[in-house]
Every structure is written in structure tokens, then in C-alpha cells.
Structure 1
Amino acid sequence: MTLYFVMGGACNGKAEWVRSHFCLGQYPRVSWIKAYECSYYDWISEDSTDSLVVVEGIEYWIRDLSLQHESDKVRQIWKETLLNWDQWEKDGCKRKLVIIGSDITRGIVPVEKADRKWRDDAGWTFQDTVQLCDRVDNIWYGIGQRMK
């Protein structure tokens, strides 16, 4: 896979790091999808003509899936999504997809069962994302650290 995964804490500069690191002006068509503003089921279509697609806030899509499915199914759907995105990249000349996620797995364990499940599902799907992506960067306070 050639997908990129950028993760880190909330409000730690992930989006700005992506804007700077990927020099968005060099791409003829860029889409920036905010997962917290649209449904998981509205994600990019295979016929997208964009050369760079950034998907920000995947933890919100994981929450949508977590509320609807058991954890194994959430992971299966997410892996299929990653494979579809990888194929989208391969099908087009110079296509790139950057996935941004906030790490919600640290800190105080949520009281509500659904929130705990979301946290667990996010941790597992982030692990799956790291395994399937070619490059992973962790951003803390605007500073990127390449992990893979």
C-alpha cells in the first residue's frame, strides 16, 4: 500500500502538518474530506478525479461503524475500505490518499459502554491502518515523527 496515515492527539497540528508536508499546491485537484461533517457512507468514490484526497477525522467514521456493528465487523469493513482506497490510488496516475486520525485511546476510560467500544474499535482499526499503510507519521504539538 502507498497510503499515508497521520495520527496524533486532538488539536496537535495534524492538518497543518499535512498541508505543509504534502505541499497541496503541487496537486492539480485536491479534496479534503472532514469525516466529522459527513457520513462514512459518503466517502470518496472510485471514479474520483482528484489527485490528492485527505480524509480527516476517521475516528468519527469509526464511531459510526462502532454504533452499528460488532467489533470484528467494524474491523472487516475498515480493512475493506483501506483496500478500496489503495486500489483507487493504484488505478490513477499520481493519486495519493492521506488519512488523518486523532488518537482517542489514551486518557480516562469512558463510563458509557458505547464510548468504551468506540475507543476499543478505534484502537484496533488504527492498528489495522498502521499495518496496511506504507507510511505513518505521529504528530505531537505540530512536530511530526515518522513511525513507519
Structure 2
Amino acid sequence: MHVFIGGAYNGKTDYVMTLLADQKVELADGYIPNETPECDVLVIKNIEKWLVTQNLDNDEALVKTILTTLKALEENCTLYIIVTDMGRGVVPIEKQARLLRDTCGRLYQALFAEAESVVRIWYGIGEHIK
């Protein structure tokens, strides 16, 4: 598993797709597939859009479920995950927005721990942090 993180519109998808130019890539935008598609690389981006549709009250169980699903997907193809840094110390006023930010933070920590590599993208420039 390879994880790429950066702010919104910082060039994360372009960076990843350039890396994967010669491979058969399947892109899952805003959802986590139930089954692994036939491809060399599965790229999952905008997980936070999918998280909005989930019950965030028990984020520990949700994070475990997501990791289990991702590990199963990874058995058949290489997995690249693109996530958006949404924290930066700003605490949202709305409860649901705070739950989303907190859940994303916990999920990202778990993803980073499991990942083979982690790259931070800053306006199209990648910085390898793991």
C-alpha cells in the first residue's frame, strides 16, 4: 500500500497518475470498491467523501473495517491511496465536520502505519516521508 497526502487541489492525482503512466490503473473516486477490479494498480482517492456517508460515532470500528477491506483489495493488485489533509489545526464549528476530521485523522494514522510508502504532495512536488 502506498499513501499520498496533501491539501485540496495540490496535484496529488496528477502526481500519482504520472507515476503509473505505463500501468493498467483503475480509479475509485469517492468510494472503496467491494471487489478488486482487474488492473495492475487500484487508486482510491477522496475517501473522505465516502466517510461522510458513514456512521462516524464509532470511528475505531470504522477504521478497522476500512483497513480490513483495503488489505483484501491489496491481495490482487497494488494499492495507491490518495487522501486530503483536512486538519491543519483548524477545528470546525459543526459537530459532523469535527467527527469527519477526527475520523480522517485516525484513519490516516492507521493507513500510514500500514503503508509501504507515504508521500506528501505540495503543489505537485512529492516529499517522501516514509
Q: Name the % identity.
A: 28
For 1:18 and 1:81, how far apart are their aligned partners in 2?
Answer: 22
The answer to whether structure 1 residue 147 and structure 2 residue 129 are counterparts is: yes
Name the structure 1 match of 2:71: 83
Aligned length in residues: 130
Displacement, 1:126?
0.3
Q: TM-score, normalised by structure 1?
A: 0.79
CA gap of 1:5–1:62, structure 2 versus 1, over 3 A, is same
Name the structure 2 match of 1:51: 40
Displacement, 1:82?
2.4
Name the structure 2 match of 1:126: 108
For 1:86 and 1:49, how far apart are their aligned partners in 2?
Answer: 12
| Structure 2 residues without counterparts, runs of 5 or longer | none
| Structure 1 residues without counterparts, runs of 5 or longer | 89-94
Displacement, 1:19?
1.5
Q: TM-score, normalised by structure 2?
A: 0.89
Displacement, 1:87?
2.1
**Structure (1/2) with the larger helix percentage:** 1
Displacement, 1:112?
0.9
